[in-house]
Structure 1
């Protein structure tokens, strides 16, 4: 009934025979029974999700073993920190044996192997969930930041723990952190952010001025106004989120961003502006500046996890995964191209929606907004995201940060642009094999149905019918970039930059962070040890699972053979080998860049999984 070798000779539906078209439609009807839209997920609704995870969307054996190996030291670290015990010897031995045996596994053995590893993962997760909510061992109140550092018993302490209080580290987060997608250039300041010239010069020097810096495109802004729903719905008066505005500037030599001022809220009349203090003189001004930076880092933690991570990668790609399976036949070349970039996404999103962002889950525990407000914020951002405007070149231009002459030190932009261009060249070369001109695009009725589904059922804001080969290449580039490089850029910093809670966390644990005079008062706004350990454990896991890499296309069924079977794609010198060669060149370029800049490795192609699978 179905084509067993659909990837050998992909075809456009209008070019098939009548019988072939009937077979395509029969296959789609069958697939649509498994890939069903759901607008009523209680934790992310009305964001369109898959009603269930189809069997063929479950993780591979290799993925399961990688997760087990990543989770094991995290659980061992939990055991060292809580008033509970767990016996891990048998599981640890089993994980090592499974990892060693994977390379020699033979056909016919994989089902039992999958069953065993799945049971090991289930057992380890159960232990993790018990320990992560267990009582943390006591810490003396006078230990300060050392108490947070001591949580890393079996896991290396991230380097950021020694640097996060420094202004240059705070600025570095804006261009090379977990959320380098918010910083924007400005030529004027809004009336609700009255930074004055005198205080600006106290930070930047008397030989500079705010007016001059604005005129020379040296002023940049972070504005967290989208967090208003969380500000208005705190969990308690002593566990809350703010929506600050932060000003950064480049000195006249344009070397690196310098933080200048932070306003605690959007309304100038009931907000406080704190100006940067460079040196730790233990003054009240210094600790108020530390509190202001913490306020921004908390806002950024929320913006990052709810918007740029969950909403703009996971939930966006969910819609494309469903629509692609429902509307494009298995023999359609766009289906063949995209499916490897959706591997694991429905499974991991289902897990996230059912646990991470659910009531009583880690997001509610670690973050400051009421869980319903938090869920609504993520959903509203996902539904409001304009697909075309958020394409990398357009987004950089909109934020006025695309010009390297104006902002020279911006590792995310520089590396992401290389990846974007490589993917764009790949999608252009790939689609030109099957679409000979623009007419073949408009005549593709499956592609038209796909676009219509994304505009309606998928609720992809700004999406529109595809009428040219160039537009198709842009769309495919955005999809592949989002599911690979963009997700890597926002996911993997969680481990090194976010797992140490004093550096970045989800809530201010105090009533008034605008009135901090001492180190003790600042410390009291940081999260309790239990939430800090939970955050550490979760983000070490999410930021530690690397499964496959961009440019690697394999099937999801053991023994994981090469995915593409069309010789026009796979021949030496063809589109696939050209793409892989360009990624190798980018790897080398980024490594060379890292010799002369502070290391930024989140977009090394070897560290970019091809899909959102964690």
Structure 2
């Protein structure tokens, strides 16, 4: 049904719609639902005054219908145009403050020669832009109701070189497009591609590609220079959206940066956060912009030696906040307006950065220390996508021995067989009982440089044993450093095995800490940023450049791209940039993005499919007797168990949808928009991978279904699994330390004696410091929150996104299937047989709980729900 505010009568009124003028012409009524800019910007007085003038003279917003059935001889191949009609009572129509959207009437003189309208041209003669949600023709003669889903910002007409055109909610393959609309379909795509020139402005609608050459700021100093990612064999990377800013003075290959707190980063206007999302983001991101407060925070933290002396000190962050010294509030007010500062400080001004209690310590404040929980989080925590089955012993390295020497593992059979419940290594490998969390090869090439910064850490390997109760038991942790005489001389390693008491128990806890540091950095840079945010952005760009809004694949994928370009642009501005929050809080520091580029060298699109990923990591084997055609080798692997059900639901939905529009393989091959999309995506969007042979060929319907399923999986479920558990698990920094500042104490040293006498103190002095803890927790609290306008998997922002009944029915079945999965997840979480679903911390696994059935738009730190897109 259409939108109908309480102050208007929106139903079809035959007497009004078919009213006759004195000259006998027929009228048809339309309703446009939009949001004025003035709703969002009440200070725009000039806009209001000019809009009043335009409203008086009757020249505010015009709409002109385009025929879908009759050509206009004077318009080339385009459809016949109706007479312009104007939105009525722009200023006098009531605007509800809460919803922000208003319905405006427009009355057209009906021209029988138009036939069925298939599109319309809109021209905005007002001073300011507005957001057009929908447009509906209530009673078109001989046809009835026609609905247009617009969801786009419309700027003043002088900002555009070409007319703004919107199409009905019908879906067409290119060759099925009504002939009078083809011209407009093709021209709209040309407009969206832009001309590749100049700095892009708010009103530009251009989707184009650029390298990641905007991370560094060499004009500030060489310390802030960063390599260009993308376009080279040394630093390959997915492309990001082009902004067209001028190059830096120091380095012509680097793009100049905006002022630190500027949010005016170009992304196409329709890709920007909606007003609710932006309000949420600003409210919670205030804690993330403490980057501005770093000098003051450093001064504050220096008074306590930048350390948490005890775990009780750390708990004050959640129980009472971080107390500010006298006069500090006033100093902070000089840096940040009080309206923003009050979000960070308790109303009495005494406590700074009081955080919610993380779930990992809600039920038991020490359970995170257990070996069972340490291992369980590799299967059900925030980075459950790295652990793999160990298929060779000792673990081997794939690093080039001519560059890195001998990188073979020093873990021996004697280290681990004593804790393997009577198994030998060979028996355990054959029985699929040995697993490994291996961060060695990714980190070792960077470790010499990383450890020249404030970081002091190791490359780690952790070997685990699968027990009969389905839980994992860590057997050994290997800590490796490059030979101090040169990387080419190989690794120097130490191996630690479990211990519970005395200094040996403290050493074991320290070893687990270094694993946590490795895994935390890998999670944030690779599993989260690279493998979801960065790799999806080229798909967003290519889809808008090559697939018309009426193309079925555009309609399928578009909800899964919501807000992605905006959040990525903000990340480049304050998070992943040189000197940004990520470099300040994650151990690879200035080498963070460079390291993610090295991992992208091995990225394979088809391996992002969950079943393929599980097979590659040896976590599953093919078995047709199982529902998903896979048998998990760890039956109680919550991420995989829930994930396979979500994957299967997505795949079924995509299959049914694509099969409706593409009846044969030939219809896939002969679709020019689809083929252009796929070619550009490979050659431009992921241009550093264009010569790879693993890309689907896009010659069959199976290729299309596989491709779309992977895209939707990455953007929705995979991102949810690695993002929304960040605060629940890592909001308590000792559980997921992001940095380490000391090496393992050596026996016979003062540091070792201190570890014996004060193990907690040494642990806290080793992991993330006080300042970085404040910054890091503030950041992940923002990243872990659902916005109040979130749209979850199985939902759409409008029920009328297409008028094709079969796809709508398939989508309804998809939603119903997700509700069934929700019920199964809750049943599994309540089944005590599955020990890995809650673990010692008693936190049920809900990161892949879809949220299709019971999520009202409340947002917050829910720890569950799969949004459609990479939106935060």
Query: TM-score scaled to structure 2, two decimals?
Result: 0.60
CA distance in 1, matches of 2:416, 2:285: 47
| Counterpart selection for 1:151 from 311, 317, 333 | 317
- 1:380-410 Cα offsets, whole Å, 9 max, x none, are 3335310002211101001111255521221
Cα 1:173–1:552 change in 2 (3 A) is same
Which secondary structure state, in structure 2, belongs to the residue aligned with residue 544 of structure 1? coil
Does 2:479 correspond to 1:264?
Answer: yes
CA contact (8 A) 2:608 2:714 kept: no
Larger relative strand fraction = 2
Which secondary structure state, in structure 1, belongs to the residue aligned with residue 476 of structure 2? strand
| Counterpart selection for 1:529 from 738, 754, 770 | 770
Aligned to 2:795: 552
| Counterpart selection for 1:185 from 372, 389, 401 | 389
Does 2:790 correspond to 1:577?
Answer: no
CA contact (8 A) 1:292 1:513 kept: no
Cα 1:133–1:41 change in 2 (3 A) is farther
Does 2:448 correspond to 1:232?
Answer: yes
CA distance in 2, matches of 1:423, 1:595: 25
Q: CA deviation at 1:8?
A: 1.9
Aligned to 2:572: 353
CA contact (8 A) 1:148 1:532 kept: no
Which secondary structure state, in structure 2, belongs to the residue aligned with residue 448 of structure 1? helix
Aligned to 1:39: 211
CA contact (8 A) 1:168 1:257 kept: yes
Q: CA deviation at 1:68?
A: 4.9
Aligned to 2:614: 396
Count of residue pairs the alignment pairs up: 549
CA distance in 2, matches of 1:314, 1:170: 27
| Counterpart selection for 2:379 from 175, 179, 203 | 175
Which secondary structure state, in structure 2, belongs to the residue aligned with residue 578 of structure 1? helix
Cα 1:240–1:581 change in 2 (3 A) is same
1:10-21 equivalences under 5 Å are: 10-21=171-182
| Counterpart selection for 2:241 from 46, 50, 54 | 50
Aligned to 1:295: 514
Cα 1:420–1:246 change in 2 (3 A) is same
Which secondary structure state, in structure 2, belongs to the residue aligned with residue 608 of structure 1? coil
CA contact (8 A) 1:419 1:583 kept: yes
Aligned to 1:130: 293
Query: TM-score scaled to structure 1, two decimals?
Result: 0.84
Does 2:388 correspond to 1:166?
Answer: no
CA distance in 2, matches of 1:238, 1:203: 36
Aligned to 2:33: none
Aligned to 1:212: 427
Q: CA deviation at 1:512?
A: 4.2
Q: Which moved more, 1:259-268 or 1:577-586?
A: 259-268
CA contact (8 A) 2:455 2:740 kept: yes
Unpaired segments of 5 or more residues in structure 2?
A: 1-65, 67-117, 121-147, 149-166, 195-205, 216-227, 231-236, 244-266, 322-353, 397-407, 483-489, 622-630, 832-836, 839-843, 852-864
| Higher Cα Rg, which structure | 2
CA distance in 1, matches of 2:182, 2:171: 13
Which secondary structure state, in structure 1, belongs to the residue aligned with residue 437 of structure 2? strand
- 1:315-359 Cα offsets, whole Å, 9 max, x none, are 111010000000111111111111111010000000101210111
Aligned to 2:860: none
- 1:415-470 Cα offsets, whole Å, 9 max, x none, are 11111110101111111121111111011011111111111101174434311112
1:427-576 equivalences under 5 Å are: 427-459=654-686, 461=689, 462-512=694-744, 517=752, 518=755, 519=759, 520-546=761-787, 547-554=790-797, 561-562=798-799, 564-569=801-806, 571=808, 574-576=809-811
RMSD of aligned alpha carbons = 2.4
- 1:6-53 Cα offsets, whole Å, 9 max, x none, are 452111112335543332220101111210111253327213100130
CA distance in 1, matches of 2:466, 2:536: 36
Q: Which moved more, 1:293-302 or 1:128-137?
A: 128-137
Cα 1:127–1:575 change in 2 (3 A) is same
Aligned to 1:3: 119
Which secondary structure state, in structure 2, belongs to the residue aligned with residue 389 of structure 1? helix
Identify which of structures 1 and 2 has the higher relative contact order when contacts are C-alpha pairs closer than 8 Å and 6+ apart. Answer: 1
Q: CA deviation at 1:235?
A: 5.8
CA distance in 2, matches of 1:514, 1:359: 34
Q: CA deviation at 1:230?
A: 3.3
Aligned to 1:120: none
CA distance in 2, matches of 1:392, 1:569: 27
| Counterpart selection for 2:866 from 581, 604, 608 | 608
| Counterpart selection for 2:465 from 226, 249, 271 | 249
Aligned to 2:12: none
CA contact (8 A) 1:11 1:332 kept: yes
Q: Which moved more, 1:43-52 or 1:131-140?
A: 131-140
CA contact (8 A) 2:447 2:481 kept: no
Cα 1:209–1:358 change in 2 (3 A) is same
Aligned to 1:381: 599
Unpaired segments of 5 or more residues in structure 1?
A: 76-124, 555-560
Larger relative helix fraction = 1
CA contact (8 A) 1:451 1:464 kept: no
CA distance in 2, matches of 1:14, 1:165: 62
Q: Which moved more, 1:417-426 or 1:395-404?
A: 395-404
Aligned to 1:592: 827
CA contact (8 A) 2:734 2:767 kept: yes
CA contact (8 A) 2:517 2:739 kept: yes
Q: Which moved more, 1:267-276 or 1:576-585?
A: 267-276
CA contact (8 A) 1:356 1:362 kept: yes
